[in-house]
């Protein structure tokens, strides 16, 4: 049975490391739903967070192959159990009028979203949270007219030391 998996890679920051990681997944026919690569507290070490869908056996095989890459220090499949925190980030621009501005601002407050810019014609806001929470806000803002948005994709951190 296929399910969503979040894989956290700790790698040495070298030229082409992300290409090698994504290439390995592409060769095996996996579509990456989201990826984030960023430095850690040590600028020579990067965390790459991948969200992919696959069976437990297939993901286990992929994590073994990712471990064999030369720049890989550690690979962890956190498999969406209860031992980690997952968040996503969005910046969104929604249309407003004098009549709808207060409604949209109240909705943002309910979701703990933060307005970044308010003008006569639009509000730009930011929100972090679970993907489902962000999806619900988008659905509720659609009737007002969403101009554009950018989502980070999921990122995660385990609650315990690995």
> What is the residue extent of each domain of the chain?
3-77, 84-158
> Which fold would CATH assign to domain 3-77?
Alpha-Beta Plaits (3.30.70)
Contacts (Cβ under 8 Å, ≥6 apart) of 30: 52, 53, 54, 58, 62
Question: What's the mean pLDDT in 69-93?
Answer: 86
pTM for the complete prediction? 0.75
In CATH, what class is 84-158?
alpha beta
Q: How far apart are CA 140 and CA 100, in angstroms?
A: 13
pLDDT tens digits, 108-160? 999 999 999 999 999 999 999 998 999 999 999 999 999 999 999 888 877 76
Region label for 79, one of left (φ > 0), alpha (ψ between -120 and 50) or beta (otherwise): left
Cβ neighbours, 10 Å, residue 110: 9
- pLDDT for residue 82: 63
């Amino acid at each position: 049975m296929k399910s969503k998996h979040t894989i956290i890679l700790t790698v040495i920051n070298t030229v082409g490391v992300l290409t090698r990681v994504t290439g390995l997944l592409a060769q095996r026919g996996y579509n990456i739903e989201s990826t984030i690569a960023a430095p850690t507290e040590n600028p020579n070490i990067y965390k790459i967070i991948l969200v992919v869908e696959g069976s437990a056996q297939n993901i286990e095989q992929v994590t073994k192959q990712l471990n064999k890459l030369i720049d890989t220090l550690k690979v962890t499949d956190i498999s969406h159990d209860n031992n980690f925190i997952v968040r996503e980030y969005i910046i969104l621009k929604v249309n407003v009028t004098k009549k709808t501005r207060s409604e949209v601002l109240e909705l943002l407050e309910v979701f703990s979203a933060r307005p970044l810019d308010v003008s006569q014609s639009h509000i730009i806001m930011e929100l972090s949270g679970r993907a489902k929470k962000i999806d619900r806000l988008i659905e509720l803002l659609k009737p007002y007219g969403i101009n554009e948005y950018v989502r980070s994709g999921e990122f995660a951190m385990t609650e315990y030391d690995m």
